[in-house]
Chains A and B, each alone.
Chain A
């Protein structure tokens, strides 16, 4: 268990489906975090017995997740699925953006969604109401989605060729940055009700992102939020970032967001 946030990703994430009470799949047991105690070594190696030697390992510690993420990536590419990882702090409007994105693409592109939250199927229920395939990953005490959870969730979705998969990560600007899911792009959502110095406070997240969606622009008249400053900070932490300002509520900027998505969808 992490001594900082108490998360225990091996504690067992669970998949749930809106409208299917009995559906309940445990992930993580097969990831099988186990220690082999008292593992017998072969006595055929007895000439090394007791001798100490150094062995080169050169192994990335997050290897297991990263390997699985690459497998996910390959799987998505083979099926021509554009997988997007949506990251933000809780409450920035990720789910609302997705609720508006689905009808925007209706008739042109198929969309499926993976929702990540500690508990409840609230977000998946909202997406389910739009009639597109969605799975909820409940991480329990976990604070981020990982490649295994995405792999298991995607197995339950019937992803179409040349389609969009939206992965809404657990609301958290710290941990999800560390875990590759196999996505084609990372979209970080910040809202104008947060401080404009968010990119400086959470540089790892912004540095590893492809696009920033600044949401809730409809509230700008009521706030002292400095949009230019926020953008400047974000670009200082990652000068390759793309930047789109939107209001999921009143539709401002959503055409630009749609254009960003469709240009990527057309290229897969």
Chain B
């Protein structure tokens, strides 16, 4: 959802940082997108190429690391991969799982010149 405003937000953040580093071009952007971040990667790529036009990120390669989500059972402590929020623990079978990773949506690094 909102991949266009997210793409624009990424472009703003990297342009700003590139400017602070005294650079005019962003050649690569390393993004981390968790599987539970609510972002559709293909949609984000599409929106990014549209939003980056006429910006310092215009020719930037968008490198997206898609991270799987994992959860911890608050009952027995088991840790395991999860695909969503409706999850029961594979060890004890209870629905008392806390998602500990997979919701990230972050710019890890940028390559600039």
**Taking beta carbons and an 8 Å cutoff, which residues of A are in contact with B?**
1-5, 7-10, 33, 35-37, 39, 41-42, 44-45, 48, 50-64, 174-175, 177-178, 199-200, 203-204, 206-207, 233, 235-239
Asked if residues A62 and B9 are in contact (CB atoms below 8 Å), the reply is: yes
Complex Cα distance A207/B106, Å?
21
Q: Is B81 interfacial (CB-CB < 8 Å)?
A: no
Asked if residues B2 and A36 are in contact (CB atoms below 8 Å), the reply is: no
Cβ 8 A contact of A64, one of B9, B74, B104, B113: B9
Asked if residues A178 and B10 are in contact (CB atoms below 8 Å), the reply is: no
State whether A174 and B109 are in contact (beta carbons under 8 Å apart), knowing that A39-B56, A206-B85, A239-B74 are contacts in the complex. no
Interface class of chain B by DSSP: mixed
Q: Mark B74-97, 1 if CB is under 8 A from A, else 0.
A: 100000000011101000000111
**Taking beta carbons and an 8 Å cutoff, which residues of B are in contact with A?**
1-6, 8-15, 17, 19, 21-24, 27-28, 31, 36, 38, 43, 46-47, 54-56, 74, 84-86, 88, 95-97, 99, 104-113
Q: Tell me which of A2, A8, A174 has the highest count of chain B C-beta atoms within 10 A of its own C-beta.
A: A2
Asked if residues A10 and B95 are in contact (CB atoms below 8 Å), the reply is: no
Q: For the complex of A and B, list the 8 residue pairs with the smallest distance between their C-beta atoms, beginning with the closest.
A: A45-B22, A236-B95, A203-B85, A207-B85, A52-B113, A57-B107, A61-B105, A239-B96
State whether A61 and B6 are in contact (beta carbons under 8 Å apart), knowing that A52-B112, A55-B110 are contacts in the complex. yes
Complex Cα distance A62/B2, Å?
11
* 5 pairs, CB–CB < 8 Å, chain A vs chain B: A8-B5, A57-B14, A59-B13, A61-B10, A62-B6
Cβ 8 A contact of A41, one of B23, B43, B55, B106: B23
Complex Cα distance A42/B23, Å?
9
Asked if residues A204 and B109 are in contact (CB atoms below 8 Å), the reply is: no
Interface class of chain A by DSSP: mixed
Asked if residues A7 and B11 are in contact (CB atoms below 8 Å), the reply is: no
B70 CB to nearest chain A CB (Å): 15
Asked if residues A237 and B2 are in contact (CB atoms below 8 Å), the reply is: no
Complex Cα distance A1/B43, Å?
12
A47 CB to nearest chain B CB (Å): 10
Cβ 8 A contact of B4, one of A1, A57, A174, A175: A1
Cβ 8 A contact of A63, one of B13, B15, B47: B13
Query: Given the complex, which residues of B lie within 8 Å of A58, measured CB to CB?
Result: 106-109
Complex Cα distance A245/B56, Å?
53
Query: Given the complex, which residues of B lie within 8 Å of A200, measured CB to CB?
Result: 86
Asked if residues B112 and A33 are in contact (CB atoms below 8 Å), the reply is: no
Asked if residues A33 and B8 are in contact (CB atoms below 8 Å), the reply is: yes
Asked if residues B21 and A236 are in contact (CB atoms below 8 Å), the reply is: no
Query: Given the complex, which residues of A lie within 8 Å of B10, measured CB to CB?
Result: 61
B73 CB to nearest chain A CB (Å): 10
Cβ 8 A contact of B110, one of A4, A41, A54, A239: A54
Cβ 8 A contact of B38, one of A7, A9, A178: A178
Complex Cα distance A58/B6, Å?
16
B47 CB to nearest chain A CB (Å): 7
Query: Given the complex, which residues of B lie within 8 Å of A50, measured CB to CB?
Result: 113
Query: Given the complex, which residues of A lie within 8 Å of B86, measured CB to CB?
Result: 199-200, 203, 233, 236-237
Asked if residues B22 and A36 are in contact (CB atoms below 8 Å), the reply is: no
State whether A39 and B24 are in contact (beta carbons under 8 Å apart), knowing that A55-B110, A57-B17, A203-B84 are contacts in the complex. yes
Asked if residues B15 and A54 are in contact (CB atoms below 8 Å), the reply is: no
Smallest Cβ-Cβ distance to A46: which chain B residue: B22
Asked if residues A57 and B95 are in contact (CB atoms below 8 Å), the reply is: no
Asked if residues A36 and B15 are in contact (CB atoms below 8 Å), the reply is: yes
Complex Cα distance A235/B97, Å?
11
